[in-house]
Amino acid sequence: MLYNPFDPLFLALVLPAMIFAMWAQYRVTSSFKKYSQQFTDKKITGAQAAQEVLRYAGVTGVSVERVPGSLTDHFDPRTNVIRLSESVFDSTSVAAVGVAAHEAGHAIQYANKYVPMKIRAGIIPVTSIGSKLAIPLVLIGLIMDMTGLVNIGILLFGTVVVFQLITLPVEFNASSRAIKILDSSAMLSREEVPASKKVLSAAALTYVGALAVSLAQMLRFIALSRRRR
């Protein structure tokens, strides 16, 4: 059935993707922890780095705020606010500066009307519905042997996969913008830039892992549907 861990489809498709996703999450946590101990020569904080990246890019009207938690950093385009976690906002580590610059990269994307970001924002309502209804519809359809219901569930789940697929260029581009500005603006030294880049590269892998899990799950749904016919 859908959640049988001994199902060959689960073992062949979903489990390897889940292992990769867990490894990616470990990578970002360990990289952030490691480079949180390496402090910048200029003692620039995460909050200052975000503001400086925005200034360098000529983007105005974006606020930088502190939020609770660790690695809860994000840019909210609805309010035009960069929210940095407690472990980033006041920290002067190369990890914190990299994460803050990445979020500023998202703000720059929004200001410049970066197409993949606009597409991702546009499909969020559909994706929200798909993420809530897809698996219940697939499960009910398989139990009741209703192929049409299963197909609807698979289509809805497909919106989640599309959202995560579009997320990849958005995240990679934000990191690319951040690293270029950190380097060209000399906020970080030549020796510090690679460390920030490693943190952002590790973070990007988590999005690849999430996509891999969702794609594997959708392929499994499709295979289960065909097997029941």
Element (H, E) at 151: helix 147-184
**Hunting for tokens 């993949």 — which residue is that?**
116
Residue pLDDT, tens place only, 33-75: 999 999 999 999 999 999 999 999 999 999 999 999 988 999 9
With respect to residue 162, please indicate whether it lies within any of the assigned structural domains.
Answer: yes
**Does residue 13 lie in a domain region?**
yes
Judge whether 3 lies within some domain.
Answer: no
User: pLDDT tens, 133-166?
Assistant: 999 999 999 888 898 999 999 999 999 999 999 9
The one-character DSSP state at 5 is: T
Is residue 5 scored above 60 in pLDDT?
no
Considering its fold, how many domains does the chain have in total? 1
Q: Give me the DSSP letters along 170-218.
A: HHHHHHHHHHHHHHHTTSS-TTTHHHHHHHHHHHHHHHHHHHHHHHHHH
74 within a domain of the structure (yes/no): yes
43 lies in some domain: yes
Is residue 80 within 8 A of residue 63, CB to CB? The reply is yes
Give the whole-angstrom CA distance, residue 97 versus residue 88.
7
Predicted TM-score (pTM) of this structure: 0.90
Q: 103 catalytic, yes or no? A: yes
Domain membership flag for residue 2: no
* Within-domain flag for 1: no
Range of the domain at 44: 8-228
**Does the pLDDT at position 227 exceed 80?**
no
pLDDT number for residue 70: 87
Tokens representing 148 are 């049409």
The whole-angstrom separation of Cα 41 and Cα 72 is 25
The pLDDT score that the predictor gives to residue 38 is: 96
Catalytic residue among 52, 65, 86, 103: 103
For residue 27, pLDDT beyond 70 = yes
